[in-house]
Amino acid sequence: MSPVPKANHSQGKTTPGKKFFVLLADDDPIVCEVVRAKLSASQEFQVVGEAHDGKRAIEQVEKLHPDVLLLDLLMPNLPGIEALKELSARHATAHTIVFSASVGPEQIVQALQLGARGILSKKSIAQLEPAMRSVLNGNYWVEGREEGDVGKILADLSASMRAGAQPRNYGLTQREIEVIGLVTEGCSNREIASRLNITEDTVKRHLTNIFDKIGMSTRLELALFALKNNLAAPNRA
């Protein structure tokens, strides 16, 4: 058996002559064949494994330690978003690009909140290598463009999701709405405290009150609910 190639997580940005390893998680054999063919002549990228369901994708990530994971959302056994949740919980180091036929704004937000670095439509396979370079260089790739600030991406998505929505405050105070806005940007309690000039304990109290008022139990659920229901525009420092 050939040895598993060592991934280049610690080496940072893409540079000429450096090879990066790709795991393809997709149950469509035609898609797999197209990706393999596209990358076969690449000097930068090599497909080192394939997974045809979500559970296998997690196993392969832990076995092969790829630099990039191309993850379809619609797979048997364990859908892509659930696989992404599990990989996030396990602190997997692969740079994940959601590679799917159709991804809506809510799924994009959810994937980014769970640690994905890129969103790429299967219709835009010509952008595959630029997208992988982008995420390996520490940026994000969403809807055909490179962006360094995930907060800006979330703000743009929030604006599109809020269009035409009727705002409701659900009994929330202005400060609680500010906290929600920062949660949608992916800020930690410490970052929220710093941005709002309050203590972390105060942030925790605000979050407890927010969860009680709108019936949510996690930050991800809160962010998705807020964006969908026009609760808060992300705060910009």
**Residue 103 included in any domain:** yes
- Asked if 36 contacts 28 with a C-beta cutoff of 8 angstroms, the reply is no
Mark whether 208 and 117 lie in a shared domain. Answer: no
More confident residue, 16 or 151: 151
What is the helix, strand, coil percentage profile of the chain, to 5? 50, 15, 35
pLDDT for 7 beyond 50: no
Mark whether 193 and 119 lie in a shared domain. Answer: no
- For residue range 97-121, list pLDDT tens digits in order: 999 887 777 788 888 888 899 999 9
pTM assigned to the model:
0.67
Mark whether 63 and 140 lie in a shared domain. Answer: yes
CATH number, position 181: 1.10.10.10
State the total domains in the chain. 2
**Residue 1 included in any domain:** no
Mark whether 130 and 26 lie in a shared domain. Answer: yes
> Residue 128 sits in which domain range?
9-148
- For residue range 122-131, list pLDDT tens digits in order: 989 999 999 9
**Residue 234 included in any domain:** no
Mean residue pLDDT of the chain comes to 84
Mark whether 185 and 126 lie in a shared domain. Answer: no
